Structure 1
Amino acid sequence: MSQPVTLARPYARAAFALAREQGRAAEWSRALAFAARVAEDPQAQALLKHPQLAVADAVALVAPDGADESLQRFLALLAENRRLALLPEIAGLFEQLRADAERIVRARVTAATALPGDTLESIRAALRRRFGREIELETAVDPTLIGGAVIDAGDVVIDGSLKGKLARLQNMLAA
């Protein structure tokens, strides 16, 4: 069986193309995120897998209130093809396509303690220079890092944590 991301990719591309053509990428983004959360719910999963669930009922379950007709048709297509379980992957890929089109890099900064705003702004500025794109930062705290921070920006991971430095030093000494 194929990987869920592989199956989701053509749906995400089609959804993004349609949303972009309509100039409604932000609305589709919110709607797909909502639908993905519903599809991840264990109770909803059981219902969505039921063979007697009508397409219209499935769409009504996962579509947010006020969803436009094109989004409802997209969700109906997923329901007809028994692909509603792919909604989390579709939503994630849609966000990647949107970020790329809008020239945005999403980065996660994980530090041993909460970082002050000025430190986050200097990290954002450094990443903006490195990638030549706007940066959306998400922060997290992980006390096991001991000190410093780890920055994860897609394919690029910068480990400036004390835990990482100790691990690299240990590897050098063991070699």
Structure 2
Amino acid sequence: MAELTTLARPYAKAAFEAADAAGALAQWSQMLKLAAAVSQQEAMTKVMGSPSLTTEQKAEAFVGVCGEEIDAKVANLIGSLATNGRLPLLPQIQQLFELHKAQREKSVDVVVTTAFELTGELQDKLAKSLSAKLDREVNLTTDVDASLLGGALVRAGDTVIDGSVRGRLTKLAEAMNS
């Protein structure tokens, strides 16, 4: 996985710079999501791996499937990826692009897992609190996992805050056993 990310990084950076220069981050984000989804379809993986097709034919087939949902610049990116045998990197390119976009927009996706459903008011309070703590705009999504017993598990990028009862019991058990 790390190797794929390393290979995808320059393409993602170039795509981000092109989108940023054009003021089209949201449009590029949508187009790259589509391209990443298309690249993972079984029929397209067969096309991408077909030795009987030229790189131009693979790129044309890929762009044809995406249709009018992508513009000429993204089609050029797909052509470049096809020429270099890198079409399977599109999911990693899309993920890295989203990270660049989030950094630029000073936003972060946060997943809060709780034992019970959170009310809208509590979600708003939590989002405001996390926004102040992380110094970023928070895009909050919630999940319910009854095995947590109580409390919450917060994931924001690489940061994990485990305030769940299960997590506290696990820490207590580890402390008692050491």
Whether the TM-score (by the shorter chain) exceeds 0.5 is yes
Q: Provide the C-alpha distance between the structure 1 equivalents of 2:172 and 2:42, rounded to a whole number of angstroms.
A: 44
Q: Secondary structure at the match of 2:121?
A: helix
In the superposition, the TM-score normalised over structure 2's length comes to 0.91
How many correspondences in the alignment? 174
Which consecutive unaligned segments of at least 5 residues does structure 2 have?
none
Residue 41 of structure 1 pairs with residue 41 of structure 2:
yes
Q: Secondary structure at the match of 1:3?
A: helix
The residue number in structure 2 matching 1:28 is 28
Instruction: Give matches, 1:10-159, under 5 Å.
Output: 10-53=10-53, 54=57, 55-61=59-65, 63-159=66-162
Runs of 4+ in 1 over 3 A off after TM superposition: none
Query: Does the 8 Å CA contact 1:59/1:79 hold for their aligned counterparts?
Result: no
Deviation track 1:89-132 (CA, whole Å, cap 9, x = no partner) reads 11010000000001111111111222111111111111111121
Deviation track 1:59-104 (CA, whole Å, cap 9, x = no partner) reads 323x352421111101111111111111111101000000000111
Q: Provide the C-alpha distance between the structure 1 equivalents of 2:174 and 2:130, rounded to a whole number of angstroms.
A: 28
Query: Does the 8 Å CA contact 2:114/2:143 hold for their aligned counterparts?
Result: yes
Q: Provide the C-alpha distance between the structure 2 equivalents of 1:128 and 1:66, rounded to a whole number of angstroms.
A: 33
Q: Provide the C-alpha distance between the structure 1 equivalents of 2:32 and 2:16, rounded to a whole number of angstroms.
A: 11
Deviation track 1:112-159 (CA, whole Å, cap 9, x = no partner) reads 222111111111111111121111112222222122111011121100
Percent of aligned positions with the same letter in both sequences? Answer: 38
Over the residues paired in the alignment, what is the CA RMSD in angstroms? 1.6
Q: Provide the C-alpha distance between the structure 2 equivalents of 1:92 and 1:2, rounded to a whole number of angstroms.
A: 13
Choose between structure 1 and 2: higher helix proportion.
Answer: 2
Query: Does the 8 Å CA contact 1:35/1:64 hold for their aligned counterparts?
Result: no
Query: Does the 8 Å CA contact 2:44/2:62 hold for their aligned counterparts?
Result: no
Q: Provide the C-alpha distance between the structure 2 equivalents of 1:82 and 1:141, rounded to a whole number of angstroms.
A: 41
Counterparts in 2 of 1:2 and 1:129: CA distance versus 1, 3 Å: closer
Q: Provide the C-alpha distance between the structure 2 equivalents of 1:31 and 1:109, rounded to a whole number of angstroms.
A: 28
- Of the structure 1 ranges 12-21 and 143-152, higher mean CA displacement relative to structure 2 is found in 143-152
Query: Does the 8 Å CA contact 2:31/2:69 hold for their aligned counterparts?
Result: no
Deviation, 1:2, is: 6.6
- Of the structure 1 ranges 44-53 and 22-31, higher mean CA displacement relative to structure 2 is found in 44-53
Q: Secondary structure at the match of 2:50?
A: coil
Query: Does the 8 Å CA contact 1:39/1:85 hold for their aligned counterparts?
Result: yes
Q: Provide the C-alpha distance between the structure 2 equivalents of 1:33 and 1:71, rounded to a whole number of angstroms.
A: 11
- Of the structure 1 ranges 79-88 and 142-151, higher mean CA displacement relative to structure 2 is found in 142-151
Counterparts in 2 of 1:64 and 1:174: CA distance versus 1, 3 Å: farther
Which of 156, 164, 171 aligns to 1:161? It is 164
